[in-house]
Amino acid sequence: MSQLNDAAAPDEGTGAAAHPEFPTHFDFRSAETTLSEAWEAARLFRAEAARTTRAGGERDPFTILIPPPNVTAVLHVGHGLNNTVQDVLIRWRRMVGDEALWLPGTDHAGIATQNVVEKILATEGKTRFDVGREAFVERTEAFVEETGGLILKQLRAIGASADWSRTAYTFSPALSRAVREAFVRLHERGLVYRGHRVIHWCPRCLTSLSDEEAEFHDSVGKLYHIRYALADDASQGLTIATTRPETLLADVAVAVHPDDARYAAFVGRTVALPLTGIALPVIADAYVERAFGTGALKITPAHDANDFDVGKRHGLAMPVVISPEGRMGEIVDAAGRVPAELRGLDRFDARRRIVQQLEASGALVKVETHAHSVRHCYRCDTVVEPRLSDQWFVRMAPLAEPALAAVKDGAVRLLPEKWEKVYINWLEGIRDWNISRQLWWGHRVPVWTCGDCGHADAHREDPTACGTCGGTKLEQDPDVFDTWFSSWLWPISTLGWPDEESEDLKAFFPSDVLVTAPDILFFWVARMIMAGYAFMGRAPFHSVYLHGTVRDMKHRKMSKSLGNGIDPLDVVERYGADALRWTLIQGMGLGVDVMLDPDDLDKSFAPGRNFATKLWNIGRFILLQVGEDPVTPLAQVDAAAFTLADRWILGRLDAAIAECDAALGPARPRAGHWPPADRQVGLRLDAYAEAARRFVWNELADWYVEAVKARLAERGADREVARAVLVHMFDQGLRLLHPIMPFVTEALWQRLPGATPGRFLAASRWPSTARTDWRGARDSRGGAHTGGSEFDVVREAIDAIRRLRSEYAVTPGQTIRTYVAKGDGGAVLVENAALVHRLARSEVHVGAAPAGAAAHAVLPSGLELALPLEGMVDLEKECARLRVELAGLARQLGALRGRLANEQFTARAPAEVVEGERAKEREWSARAEQLSAKVAELCG
């Protein structure tokens, strides 16, 4: 059989009669397409504002807003993970009965998209400046028009049940209006300002960046110790330490700590800047760290943010010597500072040259290797240059306040919990946000300056005349906004804000769960919360689910550049979308990274495909055995007609539903805020997946389906009961699994007896234990002993017989006999003799085994089994085996009795714990007695 699942191939015989209408494998390729189209045609994923309780309807709204991928993005496995999580949640809530809206869309991704188009231009030998701003923007629009949004189509292929009719785009006219409104409102509230300060500048992208966009990368650099001689006495001087000697051309002072005795005598004197001889004052400032380097610091206010603060405190000049492109030059207030031979040199070339010159002049004292962090542009990885410039800033402290309170008081929770601390830590030290970018692709800053009177103001509509002097020589600010300045409005702009009467805004805001990766916690999540409070007066969602990262087997992040990525569409093609989804969900603990092996897709995705096949075959069995005749609804079955197995599986279903619900929910805080006890509860997708899988595979398929086979073979009332239970169980199992594996479950559900065209599993009701009306029919002995119910006694016996068969290497086909000692438990085995026979190949007899060698077992339920295995059982071995078992039991019992004998324990432990231990002791000692009697009898 080929590696690839080629469902079109004829069944390869395993003896089963071929059923051309029901092959042994699920043809996921054709089913996925067909079902996607059917769902879409039925408009199952369209949310209606009017149906929500907020609009007077019946349903609770449940909203998830997609973290908009970059408009130029191509689906990678990280998107796969992110969107699968969202889809699982939205399908779950849709089935529960919420008016579920998953709103999709894309981000224009200012700097990223501009870079893509610039690269295309570069292949034509052009820069954006060659084509000009207007033409460049047009070209980018055309590019986005043509290639953008591909990722949304790809999301459909993995089963994303988003409301595509509401697809949003951050640069659309509607959302652009929101961006403009937001800026103007902040401007009106005095929360934006034009700041003259040192910002992060990318010399390649030629734009400023926010603090968050300038990422730290650890690197090993050099620490240069340079001597600055006193201007009036070259025999004395100060040695400073710097990692960036090229910036010394812009030095305006040397600073030492005010309490530093070593340098006290220098403060107030003047030193000569090496190379140029410019006179610099020696100043004292507590910012200087005495222990770092030499304890003396050169001050370069225009090229270092900390030095800028020092410069401001001391009223120092701020010459700029590095150009936007990163070249040395006398850019601003720097006349006479840059020697001619250095002008125009790249900053790193200049560094080398300057170090040579310092060395030649004797000013270079020493060079040390030095591990430090250097900021890089998050889009192009270029080393960022701190540069003095004018930018627009948002005053963040007032915005941060409610966002901080939101998490502290439980209006918003972050999962996993550790991120709450990170979030709080960041917000408590919040810095103002540089929102202007010197790019062309983005929302233009809506500020116009009058050429006549110089008045500048922000405008909702493009102004035609100056509001102050009436002049018409108005010029718009050339900058555009940080792309995140539109993203932070996503939860409100996509729903219609600033139109506060928007139906969607009223019905679906605030949203519910935000699903994203922690790397954009500050970029995006925190700012959305701030925007929610700033513009709507409340948090935009109540839960933030921060999932892990997809990594390879060496724990490296999957990325194109490393070549260790996995193409989700390739996985869909080879294993099916359900397999992809299953693997991602079941392997994902809360916030835990998902490890996948790009070199061995089978290892990661075969289990998902195998599970889909397993489901398919359970369905195949049911369809072929149960037939198409109408099936009695479970509620109409007389409870008295249920067998032990029926009652057992009914109980297991309730347990599975309860486990799935407990793993997933609660979906929302009960009273607007998360009480401490609920803050970290729910969204355990792996636990949900495992509970559902275990029910369907290990309980329904492994036991119930086997148990029911004999009953299906004979016509009569009991067959109808079995059919009713079986179909109900499978139906419910499919529902539990549908959010994770939508395709195979829907395909099977459509084929269940009673399925009607136009009805979809995707729109069916989520299972509920509350709606079961057979609860009174539950196993009469349920929970009476640790084995659980009466059916568990049967399972226990079958397990024991199987183990003994294996132990004594009984030929698989050989039927043996099992004797069960008289006692009330034995009757259960006799009742289920057919099942024991089918699953353990053994007859059941009551009474003592005939004389001769036999294998023995004492079950937790107290049942004693004897399997006469003449010629196979070695008495010595059997004795040894039983003694080992007895010894193990005795050891545990000893520890247990020790505990119970300890008065400290019985007196201080909670009563129910003590009682539990006592019950355990009774059960274990009974079993130990039985075992030891058995050993005495057999082994003397």
Partner RNA sequence: GGGCGAAUAGCUCAGCUGGUCAGAGCACCUGCCUUACACGCAGGGUGUCGGGGGUUCGAGUCCCUCUUCGCCCA
Among 74, 339, 383, 426, binds RNA (CB under 7 A): 426
Query: CA dihedral defined by 748, 754, 755, 761, rounded to 10 degrees?
Result: -70
Task: Identify residues 810-829 at the interface with RNA (CB under 7 A).
Answer: 812-813
Q: Quick check: 438 binds RNA (CB under 7 A)? A: no
Residue 803 CB, nearest approach to RNA (Å) = 5
Report residue 599: phi and psi, to 5°. -90, -5
Instruction: Record the tokens describing residue 745, joined without a space.
Output: 């479950």
Provide DSSP, 648-663.
Answer: HHHHHHHHHHHHHHHH
Under 8 Å between Cβ of 322 and 303: yes
Residue 25 CB, nearest approach to RNA (Å) = 5
Task: Identify residues 872-901 at the interface with RNA (CB under 7 A).
Answer: 892, 899
Task: Identify residues 652-691 at the interface with RNA (CB under 7 A).
Answer: 684, 687, 690
Among 593, 678, 718, 720, binds RNA (CB under 7 A): 593
Residue 216 CB, nearest approach to RNA (Å) = 5
Under 8 Å between Cβ of 466 and 453: yes
Task: Identify residues 634-653 at the interface with RNA (CB under 7 A).
Answer: none
Q: From 77-85, 337-345, 806-814, 879-887, give the range in contact with RNA by CB under 7 A.
A: 806-814
Among 421, 822, 877, 922, binds RNA (CB under 7 A): 421
Among 29, 51, 54, 431, binds RNA (CB under 7 A): 431
Q: From 187-195, 235-243, 320-328, 701-709, give the range in contact with RNA by CB under 7 A.
A: 701-709
Q: Which is nearer to RNA, 325 or 874 (CB)?
A: 874
Task: Identify residues 162-221 at the interface with RNA (CB under 7 A).
Answer: 211-212, 215-216
Report the relative pairing of strands 474-476 and 447-450 from DSSP bridges.
antiparallel
3-state helix, strand, coil split of the chain in percent (to 5) is 45, 20, 35
Under 8 Å between Cβ of 207 and 111: yes
Q: Which is nearer to RNA, 48 or 807 (CB)?
A: 807
Among 327, 527, 547, 620, binds RNA (CB under 7 A): 620
Q: Which is nearer to RNA, 112 or 396 (CB)?
A: 396
**Distance between CA 61 and CA 493 in Å, rounded?**
18
Angle at 667 between CA 747 and CA 50, to 5 degrees: 80
Encode burial over 40-63: b for 16+ CB neighbours within 10 A, e otherwise. eeeebbebbbeebebbeeebbbbb
Q: Which is nearer to RNA, 237 or 825 (CB)?
A: 825
Among 206, 909, 928, 935, binds RNA (CB under 7 A): 909
Angle at 779 between CA 774 and CA 782, to 5 degrees: 125
Q: From 123-131, 236-244, 739-747, 913-921, give the range in contact with RNA by CB under 7 A.
A: 913-921
Q: Quick check: 346 binds RNA (CB under 7 A)? A: no
Task: Identify residues 356-375 at the interface with RNA (CB under 7 A).
Answer: 373
DSSP 3-state of 293: coil
**Distance between CA 612 and CA 696 in Å, rounded?**
11
Task: Identify residues 760-799 at the interface with RNA (CB under 7 A).
Answer: 786, 799
Q: From 361-369, 440-448, 507-515, 608-616, give the range in contact with RNA by CB under 7 A.
A: 608-616
**Sequence-ordered list of residues with C-beta below 8 angstroms from that of 731, at least 6 positions apart, any chain:** 749, 752
Task: Identify residues 250-279 at the interface with RNA (CB under 7 A).
Answer: none
Residue 493 CB, nearest approach to RNA (Å) = 24
Q: From 14-22, 173-181, 251-259, 819-827, give the range in contact with RNA by CB under 7 A.
A: 14-22
Task: Identify residues 492-551 at the interface with RNA (CB under 7 A).
Answer: 518-519, 522
Task: Identify residues 702-721 at the interface with RNA (CB under 7 A).
Answer: 702, 705-706, 709
**Distance between CA 103 and CA 484 in Å, rounded?**
18
**Distance between CA 869 and CA 729 in Å, rounded?**
38
Residue 302 CB, nearest approach to RNA (Å) = 18
Q: Quick check: 105 binds RNA (CB under 7 A)? A: no
CB-side neighbour CA atoms (13 Å) of 777: 21
Residue 905 CB, nearest approach to RNA (Å) = 4
CA 548 to chain centre: 5
| 343 to 251, 324, 383: CA distances (angstroms) | 17, 13, 20
Site string for RNA, 386-415 (x = CB under 7 A): ------------------------------
Q: Quick check: 12 binds RNA (CB under 7 A)? A: yes
Q: Quick check: 243 binds RNA (CB under 7 A)? A: no
Q: From 106-114, 117-125, 341-349, 612-620, give the range in contact with RNA by CB under 7 A.
A: 612-620
Under 8 Å between Cβ of 471 and 248: no
Q: Quick check: 429 binds RNA (CB under 7 A)? A: yes
Q: Quick check: 613 binds RNA (CB under 7 A)? A: yes
Residue 364 CB, nearest approach to RNA (Å) = 25
Q: Quick check: 464 binds RNA (CB under 7 A)? A: no
State the number of binding residues for RNA (CB under 7 A): 79
CA-closest candidate to residue 379, choices 192, 260, 214? 214
Q: Which is nearer to RNA, 361 or 811 (CB)?
A: 811
Encode burial over 472-496: b for 16+ CB neighbours within 10 A, e otherwise. eebeebebbbbbbbbbbbbbbbbbb
Instruction: Record the tokens describing residue 464, joined without a space.
Output: 């035609």
Among 610, 632, 768, 932, binds RNA (CB under 7 A): 610
**Distance between CA 799 and CA 404 in Å, rounded?**
56
Instruction: Record the tokens describing residue 119, joined without a space.
Output: 């690269």
